[in-house]
Each structure stands twice: as structure tokens, then as C-alpha cells.
Structure 1
Amino acid sequence: MPVTKNKNPGKDTAVQGTNDSSVVSKVSAAAQGYFKDELLQHFVSKVSRRTALINRGYYVRWKAVDHCVKQFLCATNTCARRQILSLGAGFDSLYFRLHAEEALQNVIIFEVDFPDVARRKAALINGSNLLKATISDWDHLAQTGPAYVSSVHYKLLGVDLRKEKELEDVLHRAGLHWNCPTLVLSEVVLTYMETQWSDAVIGWAARNLPQAMFVMYEQIRPNDPFGIVMQNHFLKLNSKIHALCQYPNTFAQTQRFLQKDWEECVCMDMNQFFFSLLTDDERERVEKLEPFDEFEEWHQKCSHYFILTASNGSLTRQALLTLPSETPIPLIKLTLDQYSMSVQLMTESQCVEAVGMASSMLEPRLLLLTGGCGRQGRNSTAMLLMREHAGWRHAVIEPEGQKCVRLYHTMTSVPGGGAVILGGRTSPLNPIDSILKVTCSLRDKHNPKVLVSINEMVCTGPAPIPRWRHTATLLIFEDRNYLFVFGGRTERELVLGDSHFLSLEDQHWVNIPLEGCFPKPRHSHSACPYKGGLVMFGGLGKGGVPLGDIFLLKPTCIGFCWERLHVHPALVPRYSHTAHVIGENLVVVGGVWLQSAGVPGVAIINLISRNSVEISIDTSSVPWPLMLHSFCSELLDSEGTEVVLIGGGGSCFSFGTHFNAQPVTLDLSPMLCNKAPLDS
């Protein structure tokens, strides 16, 4: 391990600050019941409630590390002595949790961190009667270190991990037995070091601990939009994360440990851990703890962190992470078509920063946006994008009549002009049941100002329960127009699978017979008009697992029939995408997936040949990370070769909120004109 004088002590201080933020978030998650850790609150001056997204993120981190610790303790339960060496432990409460669980039999915990952090932690322990009572054989505070706490089961040591000889000497004097079964624990610690130092620590542990298991929780995937926002966040904190650039995925991290002389290694991202190693009951328990509707951000957070176990010796091999033979999230190796599609800024001046909006082409040159939530909160105004000779311009408007303050609603263009707004929510506890009719007109031919009115529709018949993240698609049956509502979610039901028909001429909810192969319940899917019926793709299904199925809803002489469409190759499951039918092609844009590397680009499915291709999107012309989820898209030309993508983004865990700053256009003509991959 290199011994290098620290040239940036300010960076060390910034890194130590990440401990303070982390422990506050862990306390918040514990206070909301995500896990039980009653003594952790004594390491913060005030309990602060974090968002549900942050609580979930720290829950899955806590759960993964706890799972690995319990696996190690189970595998070594017959040993006369076991050790846990926690690197960069900060204010972690592992010793106190195991003490409360009476799980410290033959276990000694060694915690190592910067001397200042260890000194502060020792002072907090010494100032709390409850914490101090768990260490019955420690009755004084060592002010000078390096051992700030020294008892039979717990050693708190202040030493810089980058100083190998000093580290070895401190551990030796503290009583570490190098040949005993040892769990080496590193939770977002080594990545703050330059990679040569973190590699050296990993190799040092492999050389010195012949019966050991290494557990690491860190970041991966630095180069997609979420990863860029994540990196920029830590750079602003003067706490650059290093290792993920050289080891950007789970495969690279696995090879890293094997090349540093660990005998075996298993690594998985946190989506794999959450869906494969937690029980259905546990996942359902977590779902019910807090109102939650940030699935995209949750799954992206989990795809950018991993849990890793590496072992030396036959004993610790038994404690390695193992995936079940059948898992809801199998990894899919994606084959991208040779083509790529590029996006361009729509104009230089447009600014539409929001998520959860709805869009509708009221006229060929008039696009309306309603609802959503941006930097200033929920949008009460609407926005028009108008195509003129000089290009597109936008205008924020106050529609006449009612305001449309809602998220994840639908706005469906209807015959005769205008649109119908249905569903949505103001919060995950407050779905909206009103249905609104949108009309637009010009004031007069001499003053071409667009007037938009939004008024409530009074509909009769048995209405569906209020929902959001559903689809509402225009269908034609017996020469009449219907709005077909499918799926979504409510404040109580996480996924819906019911179907409803609204007669637009009568403004009446009616029953029309449905038969065939019914789709599973879902939300955040897409549904596009097609030959009097529709084609539906993807969505988030029961248990929060993305779906990759395609269904046709086809008109019959008495109603409609569902038919599942089998395409080749099968598409990677995804949700929160948009879709359009162009000719005989279903074009799917963006979304979130869990089962493949990278981020979704464009998928094109020929509905006749039933062949599909996946195409990447070149975003090099866009000066900010382009996040294609919770966004809108509309076709801009009659040929359907140009699509505008509007809004999108969201809360990037605890790294801040990112919104796509401007609409961008996507040119589909290179792929749609080259039909060979779809027709073969």
C-alpha cells in the first residue's frame, strides 16, 4: 500500500462530512420503521425526516449490509473467535445493534476511521448513558488515540487507512487476530480514495486475512444521466468518487477483487438484491410504510449502487451472496442495432422544466402542455408550443375556466378539436376524480391569439375509481368515439388492471364486452391507437417489476379482444416511456429498465413482421444529461419521422433534482426508412 503525504486535507474533511449526512438519513429511515435501530439516534443532534425516496435508499443499503453480516455470523457460528473490521466506520451503529440482538458471542468489532471522526464518536458514546451502558468494561475516554474505545467486544480506532504500516500496527496492538475468520466491511468508503489507494487496501486485506469475507457497498454506472448527476454532486462536496470510473459496473468490480487475490467474488446491484434476496412480505411491508410515487428515481438509485462479497478460505465462501435460480430481475444482454438516433435542441430559448406533465397536439401546429411539477412546485398554468414560420415559440398561459394542477394524468386529443384530461394526482394520497374538457380557438383573424378553455365534463354512468399513471386512448367502435382507460394506480392499490369506456358523444361510462388474453395489472405503460383499437406496451407490474409484454386490443363484432403479441427479439422490460404508432411500427422512446446496462433509447417493433430493434440515442448535442422518464412526446409531422421530447427528470436520490431544461427533437427517418432489420 503506498504511503503518500496527504496534499489535500480539506478533501479529507469534506469526506468526513459525508458521514454526518449519512447518519442523519439512516436515523430518518429507522424512525419511519424501515429497520430497527433504536440507539442510532444518539449519534445525531436532531432527528430530521428525509423524503421517502431517501429513506428507501438508506433502507436497502442497511438491509444489504445487515444481510451480509448475518450470513457471515451464521457461517462462522461454531468458531471460537470471529472479527468484524469496519473500514471508515463513521457513526455506524453495528456494534450497538448486535449487542441489542445478543449476537456478539465470540465476536469482536474493530472500527477504523480518521482520528477526528473516531474522537467525535467516542465523545458521543461517552456522553450517552444508553450507549455507554452497552460497553460495561470501558470506563474512560482516551483523548489521544489511536484507540478511543477499547473493550472486550468493541475497539474504536483512529487511523488513516492509507497508511499501511500504521494501520497494521494499530490493529495488532488492538488485538486483531490475522488468522481468525474476519468480515471486512466498507460502506461507501474506499471510493473516496484515489483508486490506487483503494486497490491497495483491497489487496492488503487479501494478503493479511486468509479466512476473510470482504463486504463492499459503493456506486457504479458513472456515465449515464443519473451517474453524471451523482458524480457532479460529490464533486461539489469536494468528495470526488474515484473507483467507479475505473470499475464502472458489477463485472468490473468482481474482476477487481479477483485480481487483488480474493478467491471468489459475487457482486450485484441493489435492484437485484431488493427483488431477489428480500421476501415478498418484506417488500410489501416497505411499500406500506410511506406514500411513495418515485419509482423511476428509486430504481435508478438502486441501479447505481452495488453490494459485493468476496471471500478467502472455505469457511467464508459459505457466506457469499447467492442469487436464486429464478429471479424477477434476470439480466438481459442487449444487442443494439448498428444505427443510432440523434436528438437536437428544439430551439435555443424554450424552457420547459417539469415532470409528470401531459401533452396533446390540439392542432398540427399547436401543442398544449398541462400539469406537472417543476422547480417552483406544481404547475397551475399551461404552456403552448406553437409552430410558426420562424420556428417554434412557447407561451405560458392561464386557461379560462379551471386550472389543471395535477401530475401523471392523461390528456387525449379528441375528434372535433380539443382534448380530454383524466385522472392524475396532487400527492400520492390525493388522486383527482374530475374530468376536464380542453377547447382552443383564435380570438379573431386579426389578432391570432390562442384562447384555451378548460372546463369540467359532467359524465354519467359508473365511473372508474380515481387514478394516475394510467392510459386513456381514443378508440372507435360502431362508428362512435370512446376513451378507453386502462391500468394506473391509486392511493391504496399499487397497480390496477381494470378497463373502462367513456362514450365521448354521450359523456357516459358504458360497458363494452372484452375477451381474449387479458394483460396483467400495471401502471406507467403506453397505449397507442391502432386500427380502431390500440397497442399497449410495458409498464410497472405487481411488486414493482417492469413488464416487457405487448398487447393488441382489436375490435370485434361485439366488442374488443385482447391479443398478446410475441416479437423477436423480446424487448427489455421498461416503464415510464412514451410510444407512438407510425405506419405499421410501434416506436417506444426512453423509459426506465432494470435488466440491462445503459438506459433505454428507442425500440421499434414492426406490428406485421413482429420483429424489433433497439437503437441507442446520441445525446452529444445536448449540453445537459437527458433523462427520458416522466416526460412527454408528440409527433410533429404527418409522416411521423420527427418526435419532440418534452420535460422529464426527477429527484436523483440525495444528489439533487435534475430536469431536462428544454424540449429536444428526435429524427426517426434514418431508421424508419431503413426497413431491412424489421422486415427480415
Structure 2
Amino acid sequence: MLPPPPPRQSFPDGDAAIRSTDDDAAHARVSAVRKGYLKDPYIQYLVPRLHLIPTRPPLINIGTYVRSEVIDKLMVKWLDLLDESSQAQIVSLGAGSDSRFWRFTDLPPKAKIVKWIEIDFPEIVAKKALAVRKHSKLSEAVGPDLAIEKGGTVLRSSVFNILAVDLRGEPSEALQPLEVLLSDGQPVLLLAECVFPYMSPETSAAIIRWFTERYSRVSIISYDMFGLGDAFGKVMRENLQIRNIELPGVDDNPTRQSLEHRLHGCGLSETNSVTLKNARAACFPGPEVDRISGLERLDEVEELDLVLGHYSITWGSKDETGAAARWRVE
């Protein structure tokens, strides 16, 4: 979501600014849980010093809620469409402090997930690995074969793995460790939550192609901002530039449809997308809409629609079974 203008900061290295966006997302989720939008019993173990995190405004809470719930709905639908012989493999790029692995272990489809791999900067991986080792609520779900290696920058188990990878490198080298973890012939779901905007269009396309060229059954869910050529986009960029954060991957995506075209160009034949604005209006049952509306007073509905209208969840599949054609958010 649109971050508030912070005080100017200096970072010891260029990547520290990008890594700080994980704190933004994690703190926004903490706020949404605190205010009752989301249920997440695991985020408390992944984010330190919860009592120091301020509650975010309603606009941020609602955006975080819609983003999280729609992605979860898409993942559950994807799992439900798999046949009984399929063994699902999840790869989450830039996963950061995301708690989705643990939340999905509580859902019925968990038996289909045989591999869950997260990728991020070494510093973020080390922080998450430490949290997993420290808290039994996290480590028990990972399993008894949990091992932390390479100074804390690699976490391994038979199902859950976290790897330190710089995704901006040549995919054939950066993603090579995945080849020993993933099985061809079994479905792979690639998650990219606000990852591609921070890298060049060429790099993000190369990453997607790396998967589509190596695996016969690949799907992707990507969360991105788009259409930042207007006044909203100018303010957003200015706020991020104060923090030394650039968005090299955004200019090639002036429309929601352009995000779908990116997937088509990388070998995915079935694609779809929805803005957070439209998802908020169409993807939740009436009782849930009423519940969310009663949590906080929202004075600026027009501002909310403006912000949510610049974020899209895009998904697509390379799947000869035809299941991708039935993959819809509901």
C-alpha cells in the first residue's frame, strides 16, 4: 500500500532500503490482525517488539486485508483444482516475514503441499530462521528434520525451506539451488508479492521464464502496483525515494492488462487479474463485507478506491490439463 512519508533515512547499503519494505508489510499485517481484519496466530512470532508497532490507518488495514485474503483464496482454489495424484510445490519469492506457510498448514489442502520454498535476502532469511528455531509454534509445523545452515542463511526440512538468493542475478545461477528441491511433472506455484516492481522488467521476465522453461506445470500469483504515471504515482514515488527506494519494474506496466501480457510473454497461456478495488467490491460475501465495514470508520472512500485501484493481483498457468481455465478468485 502507499507508505506514509517517513523521515529521511540513510542505509549502510543499497539493499537495506528494499529490505525495509518487509518491515512495512509485516507491520501492516500486525495492524490488520490487531484491528480484527485478519486472523493470524503466527505473525506474533515472526515480528519482534509487537508492542512498539503503531496501528495503521483504516486505508492500510483494508488494503492489507484484501491483498492477503484474495491471494489466499487463489491459492486454495489452485490447490482444490489439482487432481489427487498431484503434489503441490510452492515457491515464494521475497517472502520476508510472511506467515502463509504456517497458516496453510492449518487448512485441509495441506496434505497436497509437499514442498514450500521461500527466497529472500540473507539478512531476512537469517531473521526468520532464528524465529523458527526460537518458537515451538513455528518449528513444530516445520517438522523434526529442521536444520539451519550456513550461518543461519539457509533453513531446510523435508517440506519447508528458506534460501538466501539475490533474485537480480542471472536466473540460471541464482535459482539453481531450486533444481534439487523441485520435481518436474508436479505442479509448481510461484508467489511474487510486490517483488517484481523492485527489479527491472528484464530480470522479472527472466525469472518467470526460468520456471516456465524448466517445469511443465507452472502457475504464478503476482501482486504488483501499476499505472503510476498519475498524481498518485508521483506522490508514491516521492515517498519511496525519500527512503532510497526505486521502482524500476513499474513503468512497463501502465495498465492491469499489461501485467497479464507479461505473463503471456513468459510462457503462461491462461491469465487473469483483478485490482484490489474490484476485489474488495466483488470477491467477498455480504456478511464478510458487513463485518469489515464495522471494524473502523472510513471517511475517505474515494481515497481508498484510488489507492486500491493502483494495485493488481495477476495470476496465470502453464497447464495442459485445462484446470487453469477454471482458476478464478471467488
| TM-score, normalised via structure 1 length | 0.44
> Partners in 2 of 1:20 and 1:102 — Cα distance?
30
Which residues of 2 match residues 276-675 of structure 1 at below 5 A?
276-315=282-321, 316-318=323-325, 320-321=327-328
**Residue of structure 2 in register with 1:505 after alignment:** none
- Once structures 1 and 2 are overlaid, which stretch shifts more, 13-22 or 198-207? 198-207
Secondary structure of 1:308's aligned partner: strand
Q: Which amino acid aligns with 1:81?
A: Q
> Partners in 1 of 2:325 and 2:252 — Cα distance?
29
Structure 1: state its 5+ residue gaps: 1-7, 324-680
Q: Is the 8 Å Cα contact of residues 138 and 149 (structure 1) preserved in structure 2?
A: no
Secondary structure of 2:211's aligned partner: helix
> Partners in 1 of 2:84 and 2:109 — Cα distance?
13
2:148 pairs with 1:141: yes
Match of 1:75 among 76, 81, 89: 81
Q: Is the 8 Å Cα contact of residues 130 and 152 (structure 2) preserved in structure 1?
A: no
Secondary structure of 1:218's aligned partner: strand
Q: Which amino acid aligns with 1:43?
A: L
**Residue of structure 1 in register with 2:239 after alignment:** 233
Q: Which amino acid aligns with 2:191?
A: L
Deviations 1:427-450 (A, max 9, x none): xxxxxxxxxxxxxxxxxxxxxxxx
Query: CA 1:228–1:319 in 2, change beyond 3 Å: closer, same or farther?
Result: farther
Shift of 1:159: 1.1
**Residue of structure 1 in register with 2:40 after alignment:** 37
Secondary structure of 1:105's aligned partner: helix
Shift of 1:133: 2.0
> Partners in 2 of 1:9 and 1:81 — Cα distance?
42
Shift of 1:281: 1.9
> Partners in 2 of 1:64 and 1:243 — Cα distance?
23
2:221 pairs with 1:218: no
> Partners in 1 of 2:125 and 2:326 — Cα distance?
29
Q: Which amino acid aligns with 2:132?
A: I
Deviations 1:274-332 (A, max 9, x none): 21222222211110112222212211111010010111014451453368xxxxxxxxx
Q: Which amino acid aligns with 2:269?
A: E
Q: Is the 8 Å Cα contact of residues 146 and 155 (structure 2) preserved in structure 1?
A: no
2:159 pairs with 1:153: yes
Match of 1:18 among 21, 28, 49: 21
Q: Which amino acid aligns with 2:79?
A: L
Q: Which amino acid aligns with 1:171?
A: L
**Residue of structure 2 in register with 1:52 after alignment:** 58
Query: CA 1:131–1:271 in 2, change beyond 3 Å: closer, same or farther?
Result: same
**Residue of structure 2 in register with 1:179 after alignment:** 185
Q: Is the 8 Å Cα contact of residues 86 and 184 (structure 1) preserved in structure 2?
A: yes
**Residue of structure 1 in register with 2:137 after alignment:** 130
Query: CA 1:161–1:79 in 2, change beyond 3 Å: closer, same or farther?
Result: farther
Shift of 1:264: 1.8
Shift of 1:28: 1.2
Deviations 1:169-227 (A, max 9, x none): 21123x21133111100000111012221121122222222211110011011112112
> Partners in 1 of 2:225 and 2:139 — Cα distance?
34
Query: CA 1:131–1:102 in 2, change beyond 3 Å: closer, same or farther?
Result: farther
> Of Structure 1 and Structure 2, which has the larger fraction of its residues in helix?
2
Structure 2: state its 5+ residue gaps: 1-10
Secondary structure of 1:245's aligned partner: coil
Secondary structure of 2:168's aligned partner: coil
Secondary structure of 1:200's aligned partner: helix
Match of 1:106 among 112, 126, 130: 112
**Residue of structure 2 in register with 1:663 after alignment:** none
- Once structures 1 and 2 are overlaid, which stretch shifts more, 260-269 or 87-96? 260-269
Q: Which amino acid aligns with 2:20?
A: G
> Partners in 2 of 1:84 and 1:278 — Cα distance?
25
Deviations 1:45-67 (A, max 9, x none): 23332112211111111012111
> Partners in 1 of 2:326 and 2:49 — Cα distance?
37
Deviations 1:411-430 (A, max 9, x none): xxxxxxxxxxxxxxxxxxxx
> Partners in 2 of 1:100 and 1:27 — Cα distance?
19
Shift of 1:145: 6.3
**Residue of structure 1 in register with 2:3 after alignment:** none
Deviations 1:112-139 (A, max 9, x none): 1112211111011111122122222234
**Residue of structure 1 in register with 2:7 after alignment:** none
Q: Is the 8 Å Cα contact of residues 147 and 156 (structure 2) preserved in structure 1?
A: no
> Partners in 2 of 1:314 and 1:279 — Cα distance?
32
> Of Structure 1 and Structure 2, which has the larger fraction of its residues in strand?
1
Q: Which amino acid aligns with 2:48?
A: S
Q: Which amino acid aligns with 1:11?
A: G
> Partners in 1 of 2:210 and 2:176 — Cα distance?
14
Q: How many residues align?
A: 314
Deviations 1:508-542 (A, max 9, x none): xxxxxxxxxxxxxxxxxxxxxxxxxxxxxxxxxxx
**Residue of structure 1 in register with 2:6 after alignment:** none
| TM-score, normalised via structure 2 length | 0.89
Q: Which amino acid aligns with 1:274?
A: R
Q: Which amino acid aligns with 2:219?
A: M
2:270 pairs with 1:264: yes
Secondary structure of 2:148's aligned partner: coil
Runs of 4+ in 1 over 4 A off after TM superposition: none
Query: CA 1:139–1:265 in 2, change beyond 3 Å: closer, same or farther?
Result: closer
> Partners in 1 of 2:143 and 2:319 — Cα distance?
34
Query: CA 1:11–1:251 in 2, change beyond 3 Å: closer, same or farther?
Result: same
Q: Which amino acid aligns with 2:284?
A: L
> Partners in 1 of 2:295 and 2:211 — Cα distance?
39
> Partners in 1 of 2:30 and 2:201 — Cα distance?
30
Shift of 1:83: 0.7
**Residue of structure 2 in register with 1:667 after alignment:** none
Shift of 1:9: 8.7
Shift of 1:34: 1.0
Secondary structure of 1:244's aligned partner: coil
**Residue of structure 1 in register with 2:168 after alignment:** 162
Secondary structure of 2:177's aligned partner: helix
RMSD of the TM alignment (CA)?
A: 2.0
**Residue of structure 1 in register with 2:8 after alignment:** none
Q: Which amino acid aligns with 1:40?
A: I
> Partners in 1 of 2:13 and 2:59 — Cα distance?
30
Match of 1:65 among 53, 71, 75: 71
> Partners in 2 of 1:257 and 1:139 — Cα distance?
35
